[in-house]
């Protein structure tokens, strides 16, 4: 955190994904947008001042508000299948400062793609090859070029204005920021009693088996540092994807913060989720992911009395928790000058 504090009013040019130590993702599967295809080469990162002295790379910031700037680039992945009527509402809530929007089209038969392009000419459209939300997210994540990836539904139930809370949790030290409708400050006007019960039972199982303290297992609003994508190893196709990510994040020892989130009812159209069918898929994942033998996933040394993972609402977090290996880099989330 030795970088100088920059005022949002003195924002400088942004670096490419290489600046985060990652190669740019191939854009072969994507169409539209300019985010990864027309970006100019990184300006003068290896250039030298007169006299051959290496020029120090300038910090890069994204203005969020007059009082706040962030350094990491935020990719927003939106899985959408026949959501043309909802996209105007969803896109209207997405913050100006996000680096890119990646819409993953599930071979929609309505105008989903056309509407997305009309609303955001710079949107990157990925057409999934397979079927299902899990398959869609996997394709969308692979196409991202940002440092942080946020996943958000396209049915109008999630508020893009909450993205800053997820980003805030990540830059404050979390590896994985998990939305929760049941953490303090969260809520849902959409969830049915049956889904609530199923979510609670399945969440209870996960907490018992994997040593987590999740308050909301099956929720589609989450964010994480892109560098952890491989550790999540998403290899499922359906609505069990959030459960798989939550379990894999815990098994990988990622530091997890829950972020309170409010879910509204889907605005137009019908749900693609079937409580029983998809509940069983979630259950299968929970059982398949359990460690072989009888051992539960437990907090590891050096301080086994404290959980390595925190599933507590932010802000606040748990300052007593040790930093995980994948701890956030020195990023900036400060008041502007």
Ligand X SMILES: Nc1nc2c(ncn2[C@@H]2O[C@H](COP(=O)(O)OP(=O)(O)OP(=O)(O)O)[C@@H](O)[C@H]2O)c(=O)[nH]1
Residues of the shown chain interacting with ligand X in the complex, contacts defined by CB under 6 A: 79-81, 83, 104-106, 128, 131-133, 136, 153-155, 157, 190, 220, 266, 271-273
d(CA 233, CA 250): 12
157 binds Mg ion (CB under 5 A): yes
Residue 287: which region, alpha, beta or left (left: phi > 0; alpha: psi -120 to 50)? alpha
d(CA 101, CA 254): 25
d(CA 303, CA 236): 33
Stretch that binds Mg ion, among 57-65, 119-127, 152-160, 292-300 (CB under 5 A): 152-160
Contact residue for Mg ion among 83, 105, 155, 289 (CB under 5 A): 155
242 binds Mg ion (CB under 5 A): no
Nearer to ligand X, 179 or 220 (CB): 220
DSSP one-letter string for 311-334: --BTTT--TTSPPPTT---S--EE
**Strands 100-105, 74-80: pairing kind:** parallel
User: Which residue's CB comes closest to ligand X?
Assistant: 106
Nearer to ligand X, 132 or 179 (CB): 132
222 binds Mg ion (CB under 5 A): no
d(CA 98, CA 77): 11
Residue 314 structure tokens: 């932010």
| Least gap, CB of 155 to Mg ion (angstroms) | 4
Residues 9-38 as x/- pattern, contact with Mg ion by CB under 5 A: ------------------------------
289 binds Mg ion (CB under 5 A): no
Nearer to Mg ion, 10 or 265 (CB): 265
């Amino acid at each position: 955190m030795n970088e100088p504090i920059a005022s949002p009013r003195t924002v400088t040019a942004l670096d490419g994904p290489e600046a985060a130590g990652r190669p740019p993702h191939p854009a072969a599967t994507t169409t539209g947008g300019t985010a990864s295809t027309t970006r100019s080469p990184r300006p003068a990162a290896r250039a030298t001042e007169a006299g051959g002295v290496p020029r120090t790379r300038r910090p890069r910031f994204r203005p969020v508000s007059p009082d706040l700037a962030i350094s990491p680039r935020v990719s927003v992945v939106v899985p959408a299948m026949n959501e043309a009527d909802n996209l105007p509402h969803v896109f209207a809530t997405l913050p100006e400062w996000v680096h890119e929007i990646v819409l993953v089209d599930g071979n929609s038969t309505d105008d989903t793609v056309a509407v997305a392009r009309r609303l955001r000419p710079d949107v990157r459209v990925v057409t999934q090859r397979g079927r299902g939300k899990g398959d869609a997210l996997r394709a969308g994540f692979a196409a991202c070029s940002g440092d942080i990836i946020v996943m958000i539904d396209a049915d109008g139930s999630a508020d893009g204005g909450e993205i800053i809370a997820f980003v805030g949790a990540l830059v404050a030290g979390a590896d994985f920021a998990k939305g929760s409708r049941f953490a303090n400050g969260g809520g849902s006007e959409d969830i049915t009693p049956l889904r609530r019960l199923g979510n609670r039972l399945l969440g209870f199982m996960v907490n018992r088996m994997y040593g987590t303290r999740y308050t909301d297992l099956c929720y589609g609003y989450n964010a994480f540092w892109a560098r952890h994508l491989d550790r999540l190893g998403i290899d499922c196709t359906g609505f069990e994807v959030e459960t798989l990510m939550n379990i894999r994040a815990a098994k990988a020892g990622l530091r997890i913060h829950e972020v309170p989130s409010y879910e509204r009812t889907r605005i137009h159209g019908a749900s693609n989720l079937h409580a029983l069918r998809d509940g069983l898929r979630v259950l299968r994942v929970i059982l398949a992911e359990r460690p072989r033998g009888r051992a539960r996933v437990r907090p590891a040394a050096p301080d086994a009395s404290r959980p390595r993972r925190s599933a507590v609402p932010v802000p606040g977090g748990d300052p007593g928790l040790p930093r995980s290996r994948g701890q956030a880099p020195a990023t900036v989330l400060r008041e502007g000058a």
